[in-house]
Structure 1
Amino acid sequence: MRKKNNLLKFIIYMVVLGVFIFFENKLYKQYKAEKQIADYIKEQKTQEIEKSFLLRKKYFYADSEYLKNFKKLVEKSSKKGED
């Protein structure tokens, strides 16, 4: 009778362990898929920011309003330096 009880306990433990491993594996696969999606979105956003920065940098000094404001700023800073 004692061997039957030990065998029954062993079978129950193995079933519980198997269920735990099954659900743990399922959660890991779900985490892996969500992480892959998040990494893809992050990579796309990074590329988008890099492209917009490079475009802005390429034509940054061609803006005439920027040049006027920059000249005013330089003149103001030079006047403050003289005072």
Structure 2
Amino acid sequence: MRQLIGKLMSTFRKQEHKVIIVGLDNAGKTSILYHLTNEVVPTCPTIRSNVEKIVWQKTHFFMWDIGGEEALRSSWNTYYSSAEVRRVPGLGGAV
């Protein structure tokens, strides 16, 4: 997970970035998010989104974990417009 942030740092030079984590339900998106924050939290299906700010070497990453249930998927595109990186668990990495 830290490698992903390191890669982001080498790719982007701005001081703030919006990163969304999308994927199917029960894919592990929330677990990824809280692993990056070094928190252990009990998880349940995400109804809308979880947002955490991660600061790494003076760069701020606003991490959005978007719910993956079928009823929520139509809203995913509303989060894409200002995102720089999307992490899609189970579909082969960042896109």
TM-score (norm 1): 0.16
Structure showing greater Rg: 1
Q: Which has the higher helix share?
A: 1
Q: Which has the higher strand share?
A: 2
TM-score (norm 2): 0.15
